[in-house]
Each structure stands twice: as structure tokens, then as C-alpha cells.
Amino acid sequence: MKKQVVVIHGGTSFKTYEDYISYLKNKKISIEKLRLRKEWKDTLPSELGDDYEILVPRMPNGMNAHYEEWKLWFERIANLLNDNVVLVGHSLGGIFLAKYLSENIFPKRVIATMLVAPPFDDGGELESGESLADFALPSSLAKFTEQSGKIYLIHSKDDPVVPFTHLKKYQQALPNAETVVFEHREHFNQETFPEIIALIKSIGWHGNN
């Protein structure tokens, strides 16, 4: 049986529809950003090899994300998974996993959870002007700790989207998590991510057959 890795991508969320429309009107765009380019999520299958099954579900309405929609879709996906799965959440996908696994029982055994540049809800807005809205975390992440396996917090000091201060909040809430800090990776939108490949390969995949 292949080793499953599920990657939940990022997105944007807003308190109101008007905030979303304002974001569309005012967000800076460029030709460069419109060009098709690979990110590390796309290269995971080739980097990890045939022993791994990489699942990257497209979460609903990524540009105007709502937690309840993501929750519904994630629960349908969860029923298809095997035990001994690794969960990876990037940006909004990171806080989604932290919230979902803090409030719900996951039906499969998770052996590791990796949160890459996850925002930590503090009632404010991110640098981009978006709000975490209904992705706000509960007061306790105890259930997340109990069922997430080995937890990794991954952040870069120069992240222009999710400030580095958010990592410190996760460290306080998850004192047993392993922290991986980078100096110049910004928001981890690069094509390759050799360090996360090494982390995934280092996990003890007990019970897989």
C-alpha cells in the first residue's frame, strides 16, 4: 500500500462579500503572476517517488474561502483515505487543519501533520488585507495535538503574507511541535521544497503494508 500524503492548499477569506470585492479591485497583479508555473505541491509526486500517493484536493472557492464548505469537502475526502496518512497544510490550509482537527474526530490515523506558513487567528487581518473570518481557531488545540501525530511548524522569517509572529503563537499553543525556520523562503511558493521532502521521508510509516 502506498504512503499517502494529503496537501491542503492555501486561499483567501474575508469577513464580508464587500471586503472580497474590494480585494479583487485593489489587489496588485502582474503578467508574471499570471504565467503558469509549478509550485512544490506539483513536484511532490516526482520528488517522493512511486512509494507515495500524493493527494492535492482542490478546496472549494479558494479565492473567497468559507470554513464550512472546506469542512464538508474535507470530510468527504477523509473517508477515502487509508490509515497512517500524513497531512500537510499550506497557509490557509494550515489553519484549516489546525481548526478542523481541534474540533472534530478524524476517522483515520494521522502519523504526522505539517503546517507550512499557517496564519494564527488573532482577530486581525493579514498583510494582504484579508481576514481569517470563520477559519478562526478555537481556544484550545488539545484535540489537534492528540490526533495529529508528529506536528511540524514551518515558517520563513521574511514571509510577506503571514507574519513570522504567527509562528510564535503556534509555538505557544503547540509546545511539543517541531519547528523548522527558514530565512529567505517568503511564503513558500517555490517550485521545489527539498526540506519537506526530507521530512516526509524521515517519518516512521508504521503499519503501512
Q: CA 78, 79, 84 angle in degrees (round to 5)?
A: 65
**Distance, CA of 90 to chain centre:** 3
**Per-residue pLDDT averaged across 185-203, rounded?**
93
- Helix extents (H) in the chain: 17-26, 31-34, 40-48, 67-78, 92-103, 142-147, 165-173, 194-202
Percentage of the chain lying above the pLDDT 90 cut: 78
Give the tens place of pLDDT for each residue, 83-130: 999 999 999 999 999 999 999 999 999 999 999 999 997 555 565 556
Residue 5, pLDDT score = 97
Answer for the pair 168, 23: CB distance below 8 angstroms, yes or no: no
pLDDT digits (tens, 9 = 90+) for 31-76: 988 887 888 999 999 999 999 999 999 999 999 999 999 999 999 9
Residue appearing with cell numbers 507515495: 52
Residue-wise DSSP of 163-191: -THHHHHHHHH-TTSEEEEESS-TTS-SS
Grid coordinates standing for 3? 504512503
Percent of the chain's residues with pLDDT above 70: 94
51: number of Cβ within 10 Å: 11
Q: Between these two residues, 123 and 155, which has the higher pLDDT value?
A: 155
Structural domains in the chain, CATH included, are: 3-202 (3.40.50.1820)
Q: Taking the model in full, what pTM does it have?
A: 0.93
- Mean pLDDT score of the chain, rounded to an integer? 91
Half-sphere exposure of 115 (CA within 13 A, CB side): 30
d(CA 109, CA 84): 5
At 124 the pLDDT is 56
